[in-house]
Amino acid sequence: MVYNFKNDYTEGVHPRILETLKKTNMEQHEGYGEDRHCKEAIYLLRQKINNFNADIHFVSGGTQTNAIVISSVLKPYESVISTTSGHISTHEAGAIEHAGHKINEVESLDGKLTCKNIQSVLDAHSDEHMVKPKLVYISNATETGTFYKKNELEALSIFCKSKGLLLYLDGARIGSALCSQDNDLTLAQLSQWVDVFYIGGTKNGAMLGEAILIINDNLKENFRFHLKQKGALLAKSRIFGIQFVELFKDDLFFRLAEHANAMALKLSRSIEKMGYQFISKSTTNQIFPIFKQNLINRLSKKYGFYVWKNVDDQHSAIRLVTSWATKEEAIDRFITDVKVDF
Ligand SMILES: Cc1ncc(COP(=O)(O)O)c(C=O)c1O
């Protein structure tokens, strides 16, 4: 049977969450996020970021979150700045453009945005004949598995404020970023430096669900109308509340991300020891080793993964993603199978 390293949502849901969903199944609740589980989840998340003023909403997926947050924040003529590899630029079927907003894309080797990148967009947009860049989109972790250090996020935040820009952080893989062995940023610190961000549950043990945290007061008004209009205000939002309580009442969220990272680290260290290169230096749960085509062909008979990028005629980088559910035996088997070629 093929073992899947394609993604971090190939399994269903962490058993503890499933158990609680079962236990609470016959409870009767208000709909649309007014139930006690959502309220408790909001309390726990506010506690985690040490900010009881944050507005928190639950939705079902990442693309939906990006589309709703970005379209709710921007005026019709305003645009969003992102790296060319940013998820909104590459993998959302034009959801942002569909809402009428241009994405100002900038090249970035490691998937991260810098103040210099942003300034280059501002320099190229001087008046009302062009769109007006207003929002900066970053993701943590990025699409290449890298993440923002404390000083990098702080610098971006200060820069954005000084230029009148808003900062939005896509946290589809925020658990993995914050649990990286090299991370020096806490969830609470991160929340102080952005205007709005989301915590991804889908890729870290939840059945589905993302929590949107709005920090900037100016972005809070009528957000539920935006959710409702886009079909994202779910009657059965209890499902989100129950899951986020379970994930955050005792830091299960972080333990699951630590496991995913540990599995990725074991893989990357062993592959590196054999002398292979990577397209990015990742200590999160996505790694991108460069293999010869014949090795890729052989591995693909036993493992699921994406071929991410052609490096030259004979080599490509593949993407291996680990998750809260990745089995260590599968990692060991993969390493052994790569060694055959070594
Ligand atoms: C950084 C990032 N943002 C958003 C998404 C979109 O999530 P979804 O597939 O739930 O729409 C993904 C999914 O891979 C992602 O990696």
CATH number of the domain residue 84 falls in: 3.40.640.10
Same domain, 268 and 232: no
CATH number of the domain bearing residue 275: 3.90.1150.10
Q: Which residue reads 């995913």 in tokens?
A: 260
Q: What number does the ligand 1 atom closest to the CA of 60 have?
A: 10
Residues 158 and 259 in one domain: no
Which residues of the chain are under the pLDDT cut of 70? 342
Ligand 1 and 189: CB distance under 6 A = no
Count of the separate structural domains present in the chain: 2
Asked if the bond preceding 124 is cis, omega within 30° of 0, the reply is no
* Same structural domain, 81 and 226: yes
Nearest Cα to Cα of residue 200 among 91, 99, 59: 59
Whether residue 230 is found in the same domain as residue 117: yes
CA separation for the pair 222, 73 (Å, rounded): 11
Q: What is the pLDDT at residue 1?
A: 86
226 CB less than 6 Å from ligand 1? no
CA distances from 40 to 213, 301, 309 (A): 15, 46, 43
- Domain housing 147: 15-252
Of the residues 252, 269, 303, the one at which a domain ends? 252
pTM exceeds 0.95 for this model: yes
pLDDT given for residue 340 in this prediction = 85
Whether residue 149 is found in the same domain as residue 198: yes
**pLDDT tens across 207-250, in order?**
999 999 999 999 999 999 999 999 999 999 999 999 999 999 99
- Best residue among 60, 63, 174 to mutate for probing ligand 1, ranked by most atoms within 8 Å of CB: 63
Question: CA 173, CA 286: separation in Å to the nearest integer?
Answer: 10
Residues 6+ away with beta carbon under 8 Å from 262: none
Domain boundary among 229, 252, 275: 252
Distance from the CA of 306 to the center of ligand 1, in angstroms? 15
Side-chain-side CA neighbours of 181 within 13 Å: the count stands at 12
Tell which one of 7, 60, 87, 173 to mutate to probe ligand 1, the residue whose CB is within 8 A of the most ligand atoms.
87
Compute the CA torsion angle 68, 72, 78, 83 (nearest 10 deg): -40
Task: Kindly give the number of the ligand 1 atom that is closest to the alpha carbon of 66.
Answer: 4
Residue entry with tokens 């914050």:
178
> How far away, in angstroms, is 287 Cα from ligand 1 center?
17
Do residue 46 and residue 114 come from a single domain? yes
Q: Would you say the CB of residue 139 lies under 6 angstroms from ligand 1?
A: yes
Predicted confidence at residue 284, as pLDDT, reads 98
User: Do 274 and 132 share a structural domain?
Assistant: no
CB 304 within 8 A of CB 3: yes
CA-based radius of gyration for the chain: 20
74 and 192 inside one domain: yes
What single-letter DSSP state applies at residue 85? T
Q: Is 167 exposed, middle or buried (0-12, 13-18, 19+ CB in 10 A)?
A: buried
Q: Based on the fold, state whether residues 238 and 267 are members of the same structural domain.
A: no
Shared-domain flag, residues 107 and 217 = yes
For 126, other C-beta atoms within 10 Å of its C-beta total: 9
**C-alpha distances in Å from residue 182, one per residue of 147, 156, 176:** 9, 19, 11
The stretches of the chain forming alpha helices (DSSP H) are 15-23, 36-49, 62-73, 87-90, 95-98, 115-123, 150-163, 174-178, 187-192, 223-229, 238-248, 252-273, 293-299, 328-339
pLDDT confidence of residue 2: 95
Ligand 1 center to residue 274 CA distance, Å? 32
